Chain A
């Protein structure tokens, strides 16, 4: 029963994830297509300004329309055509001051700086505003709605369906469902994920929601603590993710019982509880969501932890372009050359989007593992579950345990 809900919720979350991704990809694609489509649509005549910016360029920018900047980006001087050093303007080396400024604006200038770091020679970052606006706008808005919507859905579900009770009579016997080390791994993952979720939300949403309430100084303190916690607790999350994967992957490969379980709708629509092993199809979906999404969050998180050292997206986009998929879906070609900051911006957006999806899934998991179902919490609390609960939700697993012990459940203890 609880597991069909896991499954249904998983499907809803996956659909939301696809929507979120689509909305994320669109602006990037628009920019990638920008140069070609704009040039085709509007051949601006710049002869009157000698090739420089025209009123039409300015008006298009003011109206928020796409502007083809190539006439400026490519106009950065030509050292090979420089006048002789003793001629007029020869000391400029073929690039006038405006040429140099355009070079900085479009990241084509040969910049040397005393500040260390791989990206310290990028003085003007062309794609920063798109990222900032997306981060403060759609990411924050839709991410917030996703979490609030999930909470509202769960509250409604609880009101309509109520708590899932144990159907049969309780036996008073308990069997061990999760060993100490399994529960340790689970709580290492769960505790770190909650801390990372809260501190991540503080970092993303604090400027909008906390500063107006508490002021800049108090928020600065909280933001500093949140950053420290987020950066350092991440290692516990990654370690736990590996632990959980190693401990449970063997129980989470799909098999025939999953098809039967899914065909019966997990028992949600009557017809009794479908048989399930240690993990049923719904739980397997949760497991793989955590592994895949958690893994993706970890990789993008590492990229952010060591800024500019682990760029991911230019290469990923090149591989995606190679499949022809983005073009087929109407997104055009994804940008294959990214400045160091752009790499970080994409990593941040991806990190946040995938985290929102996983947070929504985990909210549902927390619900069904606590107030949503009688007897479910014991599995991770004490590790010992009521035998009747186990028979209803994991009948094949109970048989396995009994066969292994060749008697009544070995961990049987009197009811408390």
Chain B
């Protein structure tokens, strides 16, 4: 039973970790579709 609960907790931890890590690495959908140039905001 403990192993099962630990497994379920690990799923949550891995999911949140994966989301955070991929986001940090620039793999968010928004960033993948964004252009670094050609759009001038401000100035």
Main secondary structure of the interface of A (DSSP, over half): helix
Interface string of A382-416 (1 = CB under 8 A from B): 11000000000000000000000000000000000
Establish whether residues B15 and A235, one from each chain, have CB atoms under 8 Å apart when the complex forms: yes
From B3, B15, B18, B32, give the contact of A117 (CB < 8 A). B32
Contact-residue bracket for chain A:
20 to 34
Whether B16 sits at the interface, judged by CB under 8 Å, is: yes
* Chain B residue with Cβ nearest A183: B3
Establish whether residues A382 and B10, one from each chain, have CB atoms under 8 Å apart when the complex forms: no
Cα–Cα, bound, A240→B14 (Å): 11
Whether A186 sits at the interface, judged by CB under 8 Å, is: yes
Cα–Cα, bound, A185→B8 (Å): 10
From B15, B27, B32, B33, give the contact of A236 (CB < 8 A). B15
Establish whether residues B18 and A235, one from each chain, have CB atoms under 8 Å apart when the complex forms: yes
* Chain B residue with Cβ nearest A185: B7
Cβ distance A380 to chain B, nearest Cβ, rounded Å: 8
Establish whether residues B14 and A235, one from each chain, have CB atoms under 8 Å apart when the complex forms: yes
Whether B24 sits at the interface, judged by CB under 8 Å, is: no
Q: Tell me the residues in window 1-43 of chain B with beta carbons closer than 8 Å to chain A beta carbons.
A: 1-4, 6-8, 10-11, 14-16, 18-19, 27, 32-36, 38-39
A-B residue pairs in contact (CB < 8 Å), sample of 9: A114-B35, A116-B35, A180-B3, A187-B8, A188-B10, A232-B14, A234-B18, A235-B15, A382-B1
User: Which B residues contact A (CB, under 8 angstroms)?
Assistant: 1-4, 6-8, 10-11, 14-16, 18-19, 27, 32-36, 38-39
User: Which A residues contact B (CB, under 8 angstroms)?
Assistant: 114-117, 120, 180-181, 183-188, 190-192, 195, 228-229, 231-236, 239-240, 306-307, 380-383
